[in-house]
Amino acid sequence: MPGRIYRSSETVVFVEVVVRATTYTRACPPPESPTPRNTAESEPAGVVGPSCAPSESDPGWVAVEANWLRMTVPITRDPDDGRLVVDPHLVSDHSS
């Protein structure tokens, strides 16, 4: 659910959101080494790479604790097609 919104320009807004963050610990014994990915595989557009967070069903990890955190997310529009984009490189000049 979005909270406060701060518009820093005509094309950039910062939206406060509440997210659930879960911390994990390795299960014993450690899991087998993952199968290496083929580096020649192409990633779909917008995909950065594999996540460092485990899947909820991964037996090699156990959820320890979950907390609700407030985050301020910078959002802008893609100049080419107008899509909304979360851009972590944007920095607010607004002091709270």
Task: List the chain pLDDT tens, one digit each, 96 residues.
Answer: 567 888 888 888 888 988 898 888 888 776 566 666 665 556 566 666 677 777 777 888 888 889 999 988 888 888 888 888 887 766 655 544
Q: What is the pTM of this model?
A: 0.51
69 with 5: CB under 8 angstroms? no
**HSE (side-chain half, CA atoms, 13 Å) at 20:** 5
